[in-house]
Structures are given as C-alpha cells and as structure tokens.
Homo-oligomer: A and B are copies of this chain.
Amino acid sequence: MKSPDAFNLAKLPSRAPAEFHKTATLRQMKSVKQELIALQDRLYAENKRSILVVLQGMDASGKDGLIRRVFSGLNPQGVRVHSFKEPTELELAHDFLWRVHQQTPPKGMIHVFNRSHYEDVLVTRVQGLITPEEARRRFVAINNFEKLLQQAGTTVLKFYLHVSEKEQRERLEERVTDPEKRWKYEAGDEDKAKQWPAYRAVYEDVFEHCNPATCPWQLVPADQNWYKAFAVAKTLHDTLVELDPQYPSSKDERPKAEATR
C-alpha cells in the first residue's frame, strides 16, 4: 500500500541521496559505461529481446544532456533515439499511440524516447486539450500498449527526471544569461517556470494510473546532472545484466525473427 505522499512531487527529493558523492560517482559511471557497452553488444548480437527507455521530465530537466551522457559510446547501430515533437497533422489524424508504436524497438535494439506517449496525457491536460475522461481512457490504453510490448520481448524502462521548482527556474534563466545555453531559449520559457505546479499535478496522476508493478516508473532526482545520468545508466546496466543476452555461436545460429513468432 502506497503512502499518501508516494507521488507527492513537492516532497520527492530532487538531489542525490546523501551516500552519493560526485567524484566517486563519476568514477563508478566510467566502469558502468564500459560494462554497458559490452552488454549492449550482446543484446544486439543475440537479436531476441529489446529495450525501450522512456524519458520524461519537465522543461529543463536535462533530458538531452542525459541521453548524451548515458548513450554516447554505445554502438549507434544498436541504439536509436526518437524525439517526439508537437504532433503533425497526419499524426493527429490517428489515435495518439499510432506515431509512437511505429518507433518501438525491434529485437536486438535499444530505443530511447525523448518525451513519449506520456505527453499525450501531460501537456494535453495542462493545455486543456483533452477531458479528464479522455485522460483516463488514455491511461488504460497506455497500460495495454506497454503490456503488448513487454509480451513481445521488450523491456520498458520509464524514467521521470525530477527537478525542483527552484532548479527549473534557475536553468530556464541561465538560457538567457549563458551564451552557450542561449540557443535553447525560446519564447515562453518564462511561462514554463510558472507551470511547474500544473505539471506536477498531471505527473502525479500519471504515476498513480500508469505505474503497474510490471512496468513501474523510476523517479530520478535530477537537480545534479552527474547523479541522474548515473542513476539511469546503472538501471539500464542492471536490466541488461538481468536479461543476460548471449552471443549466438555463429551467424547462422543468430535467430531469424521467424523463429520467435
């Protein structure tokens, strides 16, 4: 039974747990990355299972930087990042999972969703584009969809990068003052900072309704880049250790997908 505060984002830590220190964590990150590279190579060669990494977080929670820190160095042939932008007219002419389903990973691959189908129950609600009833229907559809992927051999890892209201405001302000970050600034960034409480509410709703034991959210403290990258890399690493993918004994033995239909 979850405590009433289980998904209270105002009380969720946004900074690394006390036992983590930057220098030691960065050193540990190096060895985790080395192992990750080897494990991914085996996943790709084995060609039997796949991994979907779903990254969500408010604006300026550092999704782009995290992708660079965690996935650079892996064999790009086995990793694909897909960023979901504002839907096109064609995409909106279909059900909300249509464009997302097309980008799910085939066997052997790791796909990373930089934003995802969850935006369809987040930004759409903050902007009032869908009703609460439609949101509830979508929660069910999302749970069904993730189950379908899991049954087909895809491990679904969902990360929420949690920045505090204060940290988010500072990062959005840096986009104005820091010349190297200026390119990320866009009109409306000032308003985004004010939307923290609105996003908090819809995220809490997602964590309540799309969080089955078989496909849980990982809530990652994200005020410090070194910690959040480590947390995500370590989870991915441990998942791969668990999957324990094996090299086929020859190219002929590498299963064609037919064999697992």
Residues of A at the B interface (CB closer than 8 Å) are 47, 87, 89-90, 92-98, 101-102, 104, 106-108, 124, 129-130, 137, 141, 144-145, 147-149, 151-152, 154, 256-258, 260-261
Contact = CB atoms under 8 A, between A and B. Distances in A.
A50 B109 CA distance: 34
A96 B141 contact: no
25 contacts: A89-B256, A89-B258, A90-B106, A92-B256, A93-B106, A93-B107, A93-B108, A93-B257, A94-B104, A95-B104, A95-B148, A95-B151, A96-B152, A97-B101, A97-B148, A98-B101, A102-B102, A124-B261, A130-B261, A141-B144, A141-B148, A144-B144, A144-B145, A144-B148, A145-B148
Contacts of A108: 93
Most buried by B among A47, A93, A148, A258: A93
Nearest to A88: B257
How often does this chain occur in the complex, in copies?
A: 2
Given A92-B258, A104-B94, A151 B137 contact: yes
A226 to B, nearest CB: 35
A174 to B, nearest CB: 32
Most buried by B among A47, A94, A107: A94
Contacts of A149: 95
A187 B145 CA distance: 38
